[in-house]
Every structure is written in structure tokens, then in C-alpha cells.
């Protein structure tokens, strides 16, 4: 500015000088409003991603730091825009919309991530980074904070999975060492860490009650001979993306003296031997002598296995129908299919003929068996005689990125290259008077199954 004199009698020149000085400040303010990893993106990753994306976890890479995230920025943008990650594949605009475990990104969060990547994925001010989260020990039980240490731990016999080869199913039968009738309020299954987490596809734990204990009321209640209510069902199912089952207040499952667990552990090869692997199950019990009013039964709906007949290069639809033998509340919806699975819906056809879509998973991903747990106020309450309709869509075309061979005919089978098509649902059966009371409370609140 040499050669220019300023004085208090030159307001125009002072104005010009002020504008020149303001340019860098304005640029700094504009930069400050841009989306950065430290301030805007890292909190989203902590909330929605890092539970899986950390060292030795089930995700293929860690996303704990900027240095770990930056190389994957474009891939992250693509996956979140497609709503493939985080794994929450339920249709958001139809059916029930409120869930206890909703891990999906909001539209605003997706927009933030997209803006960040499109701006070059800047770090921003490292002072804006949130404090790192102290994640739970992956070898520890995850429900301890809520229920305390497990009352009972049941383990499979050891099994060795070869580095290569076809899938294996391990089916040992193990004593539970239960010596008196006990009611269960939560169950958690934990494959070994880290190799078992990578090799175990799913786990079924069937409760085998001692026939000598199934007498009188105990036999009636456990085996399902009390009136119209159905049988005991599966004790626990685990798949990738799931921790366990927490039963509603005043509901649970009954274990009788001498009961056993008949395991089914589905292993697949991961390129390295998994030696002497053991899967564990923690059982959290109600206090001794406390008996919940309701029982919850894990039930497979749909599953018209004989109708799965998928021709090469084709898409196929199958339907399954089940009649509820008693009033019930559904606690969750968990579709189960394999590599050709594309979509699944669950509908209620009421005794008066009214039909309601409860939920639709329209972007099923075979390696994520997400359990969608309903919020208490919207969990479906269904009358006796309701028909549950489950529709499964399978895609055996080359357009399916997960399809190992679209030239193959595909039928029902346990292997991941075979197919299944059913939904796991925790069903809490109600007395008629309880169903009427809960329905009246819902009507009074002005809410329904949506």
C-alpha cells in the first residue's frame, strides 16, 4: 500500500482497506464451515461403524483413525449411498419404522459423509477429534453390564476347521448341568476371537429337555401342550451381526433339570486352519423362584423349503403361511437366506381378512443376518388365528454380485451355495385377556403396529 495516505478524513479509503483485510478472514470462515473428518465425520463413524470396524473384528478393515479411513473414502461414499453400510437393509418407508437397535445412517449423516468425500476428505483441525471410545473387550460377554456375570455358560466340544474345503457343520450334544427348573431372561452366543468370528457363519442351539422332567405342568408348559399354545421352539440362533436375545419384561424360556444343548455350528473355510475351536453360550437367569408370566419362542416363519427351485439365470419367489395358535406379540424380524437371497417381507393376514405389511427387507445381504428388534410401543400385537405370510425373493442371475455361479440350478440346502428362505421371529405368546388389554392401551395412545 506504499504511496497511499490514510486519515480519519478518508472514510472511503478506510472502507476499501477494510474489505481487503476481510478477504483472508472470509476465506478462513468459509473453510471452517466445510465438512471435516475431525469435527463432522469421526463422530458418525464412532456411533455407527467402529463397533465392527476395529482391529481383529469382523469387518475387513479398521476405521478408528483418519489414517485408516482416508484410503477407503471413495468406497465408503459408494457403500453408504447404496445403504449397504452400516448393515441395515430394511425398507425405511413401509411397515414398522421404530427399532431398538437401529444402526442405519440418517439422510443428514449420509449427506455429511458424501460432502466430506467430495471435498477431498479433509482431516480438519485435529483438536476437533472426539475422544476415542473404549470398546468392550471382544473376548468378554457383552450383556454383563446389563445383567451381571452369566449364570450359566455352555460350550461346544472343540472342532478344527481346515484352511480350505467345503463348509462343515458341527453338531455336538452338551449337558447344561441345570439341576432345577430355571427361567431364562437373556442368552448370548460368542464364537471364539478372532478366528472363530471369521469362520463361523451361524450357530443354532436347540434345548433338549429331559423326558423325566417333562411331567405334569412342566411337560405341558415346556412341550407346548397347554391349550392352543405352540411348542418350545429353538433356544437361540446366532449369525454374523447378532449378539444375543433379550426377552421382554416378564417373559422368558424354561430350562428343566437334566436338559442338554444340541448344537449346530456352521463353519466355512477362511484360508487358515481354525484349530480346536469352541463356541460359547451365556445364559442369564431370572432369580431363583421368579417365574415370568409369558414365554418367548424363537420361531421360523415361512421356510417352504420344498418350493425353492431356482433355475439358472432366473429370479424366484416363494411364500410360506403360518397360523398363530394363540394371541402373540412379535419382538423382532430376522430374515434368513443365503447367497442368492434378494428380499423378504413379512405380512399379517388378520382373521377379519385385513392384510398388513409388517416389514420388508429389500436389500438383503447374505453375510449380514441383521436382527431388527422392534421398539416396545410398536411391536406387533396379533390375535389368535392371524396368518403370517413370509415372501422370499431369490436372485440367481449374473446381476447378483454375491452369486457364485448363475449357471447352476439351486435348491434347498444347508450350504451357503444352496438356499433357504425363512424369518426368525421371537414370539411372546399372550393370554387372551392380556392381548385385549394391550390392544386397548395401543388404541388409547392412538398408535398401531406402525
* The predicted structure's pLDDT at residue 27: 33
Per residue in 359-400, pLDDT tens? 999 999 887 888 899 998 999 999 999 999 999 999 999 999
How many CB atoms sit inside 10 A of residue 186's CB?
22
- The arithmetic mean of pLDDT across residues 275-286, rounded, is 96
Nearest-10 Cα torsion for 16, 21, 25, 30:
40
pLDDT band for position 4 (cuts 50, 70, 90) = very low
Cell reading at 290:
421368579
Cell reading at 155:
460350550
Concatenated DSSP letters for 1-17?
-TT----TT-HHHHHHH
* The predicted structure's pLDDT at residue 162: 95
Mean pLDDT over each residue of the chain, to the nearest integer: 85
pLDDT above 70: residue 252 = yes
* The predicted structure's pLDDT at residue 94: 94
* The predicted structure's pLDDT at residue 26: 33
H or E element, residue 265: strand 260-267
- Partnered with residue 295 across adjacent β-strands are 252, 429
- The arithmetic mean of pLDDT across residues 406-414, rounded, is 91
* The predicted structure's pLDDT at residue 223: 35
Cell reading at 13:
479509503
- The arithmetic mean of pLDDT across residues 299-303, rounded, is 86
Concatenated DSSP letters for 380-402?
-EE-TTPEEEEEEEEE-STT-TT
74, burial (CB in 10 Å: exposed 0-12, middle 13-18, buried 19+) = exposed
Return the percent helix, strand and coil in the chain, to nearest 5. Answer: 25, 30, 45
Per residue in 192-246, pLDDT tens? 988 888 889 889 999 988 655 444 444 344 333 333 344 455 898 887 767 788 9
Task: Kindly report which listed range (48-52, 62-66, 222-226, 442-446) carries the lowest average pLDDT score.
Answer: 222-226
* The predicted structure's pLDDT at residue 394: 95
pLDDT band for position 404 (cuts 50, 70, 90) = very high
Task: Kindly report which listed range (70-79, 300-309, 335-344, 416-425) carries the lowest average pLDDT score.
Answer: 300-309
Return the domain boundaries, the chain. 30-128, 136-292
Per DSSP, the three-state class of 356 is strand
Task: Compute the distance between CA of residue 436 and CA of residue 409 in angstroms, rounded to an integer.
Answer: 48
Cell reading at 127:
483438536
Task: Kindly report which listed range (169-173, 221-225, 439-443) carries the lowest average pLDDT score.
Answer: 221-225
Cell reading at 19:
474489505
Look up the pTM and report it: 0.77
* The predicted structure's pLDDT at residue 33: 55
Task: Compute the distance between CA of residue 98 and CA of residue 48 in angstroms, rounded to an integer.
Answer: 17
- For the chain, helix (H) and strand (E) counts, in that order, are 9, 24
pLDDT above 50: residue 448 = yes
**More confident site: 57 or 232:** 57
Percent pLDDT > 90 in the chain is: 58
Concatenated DSSP letters for 130-161?
PPPP-PPPTTS-TTHHHH-S-SEEEEPPPEEE
Pairing, β 355-361 against β 341-349 = antiparallel
Residue with cell 437334566: 258
Task: Compute the distance between CA of residue 222 and CA of residue 103 in angstroms, rounded to an integer.
Answer: 35
Cell reading at 121:
476428505
pLDDT band for position 21 (cuts 50, 70, 90) = very low
Contact 337, 419 (CB under 8 A): yes
The CATH architecture one would assign to domain 136-292 is Sandwich (2.60)
Task: Compute the distance between CA of residue 312 and CA of residue 208 in angstroms, rounded to an integer.
Answer: 40
CA distances from 248 to 10, 61, 185 (A): 77, 35, 8
DSSP state of 157: P
Amino acid at each position: 500500500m506504499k504511496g497511499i495516505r490514510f486519515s480519519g478524513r478518508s472514510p472511503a479509503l478506510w472502507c476499501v482497506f477494510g474489505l481487503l483485510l476481510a478477504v483472508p478472514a472470509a476465506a478462513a470462515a468459509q473453510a471452517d464451515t466445510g465438512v471435516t473428518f475431525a469435527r463432522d465425520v469421526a463422530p458418525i463413524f464412532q456411533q455407527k461403524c467402529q463397533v465392527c470396524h476395529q482391529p481383529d473384528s469382523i469387518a475387513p478393515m479398521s476405521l478408528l483413525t483418519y489414517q485408516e479411513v482416508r484410503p477407503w473414502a471413495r468406497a465408503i461414499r459408494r457403500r453408504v449411498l447404496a445403504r449397504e453400510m452400516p448393515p441395515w437393509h430394511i425398507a425405511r418407508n413401509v411397515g414398522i419404522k421404530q427399532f431398538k437397535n437401529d444402526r442405519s445412517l440418517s439422510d443428514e449423516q449420509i449427506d455429511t459423509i458424501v460432502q466430506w468425500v467430495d471435498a477431498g476428505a479433509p482431516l480438519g483441525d485435529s483438536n476437533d477429534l472426539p475422544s476415542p471410545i473404549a470398546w468392550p473387550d471382544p473376548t468378554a460377554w457383552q450383556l454383563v453390564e446389563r445383567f451381571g456375570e452369566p449364570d450359566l455358560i455352555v460350550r461346544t466340544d472343540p472342532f478344527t476347521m481346515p484352511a480350505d474345503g467345503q463348509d462343515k457343520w458341527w453338531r455336538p450334544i452338551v449337558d447344561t448341568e441345570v439341576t432345577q427348573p430355571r427361567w431364562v431372561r437373556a442368552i448370548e452366543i460368542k464364537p471364539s476371537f478372532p478366528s472363530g468370528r471369521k469362520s463361523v457363519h451361524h450357530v443354532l442351539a436347540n434345548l433338549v429337555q429331559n423326558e423325566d422332567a417333562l411331567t405334569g405342568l412342566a411337560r405341558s408348559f415346556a412341550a407346548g401342550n397347554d391349550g392352543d399354545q405352540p411348542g418350545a421352539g429353538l433356544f437361540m440362533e446366532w449369525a454374523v451381526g447378532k449378539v444375543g436375545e433379550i426377552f421382554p419384561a416378564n417373559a422368558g424360556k424354561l430350562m428343566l433339570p437334566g436338559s442338554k444343548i444340541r448344537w449346530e455350528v456352521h463353519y466355512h473355510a477362511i484360508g487358515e486352519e481354525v484349530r480346536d475351536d469352541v463356541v460359547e453360550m451365556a445364559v442369564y437367569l431370572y432369580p431363583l423362584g421368579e417365574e415370568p408370566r409369558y414365554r418367548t419362542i424363537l420361531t421360523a416363519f415361512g421356510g417352504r423349503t420344498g418350493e425353492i427351485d431356482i433355475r439358472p439365470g432366473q429370479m424366484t419367489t416363494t411364500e410360506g403361511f403360518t397360523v398363530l395358535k394363540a394371541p402373540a406379540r412379535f419382538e423382532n424380524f430376522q430374515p434368513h437366506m443365503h447367497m442368492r437371497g434378494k428380499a423378504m417381507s413379512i405380512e399379517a393376514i388378520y382373521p377379519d381378512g385385513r392384510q398388513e405389511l409388517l416389514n420388508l427387507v429389500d436389500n438383503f445381504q447374505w453375510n449380514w443376518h441383521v436382527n431388527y428388534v422392534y421398539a416396545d410401543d410398536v411391536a406387533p400385537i396379533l390375535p389368535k388365528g392371524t396368518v403370517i405370510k413370509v415372501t422370499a425373493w431369490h436372485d440367481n442371475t449374473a446381476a447378483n454380485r454375491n452369486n457364485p455361479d448363475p449357471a447352476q440350478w439351486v435348491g434347498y440346502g444347508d450350504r451357503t451355495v444352496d438356499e433357504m428362505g425363512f424369518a426368525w421371529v421371537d414370539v411372546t405368546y399372550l393370554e387372551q385377556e392380556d392381548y385385549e388389554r394391550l390392544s386397548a392401551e395401543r388404541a388409547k395412545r392412538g398408535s398401531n403396529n406402525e
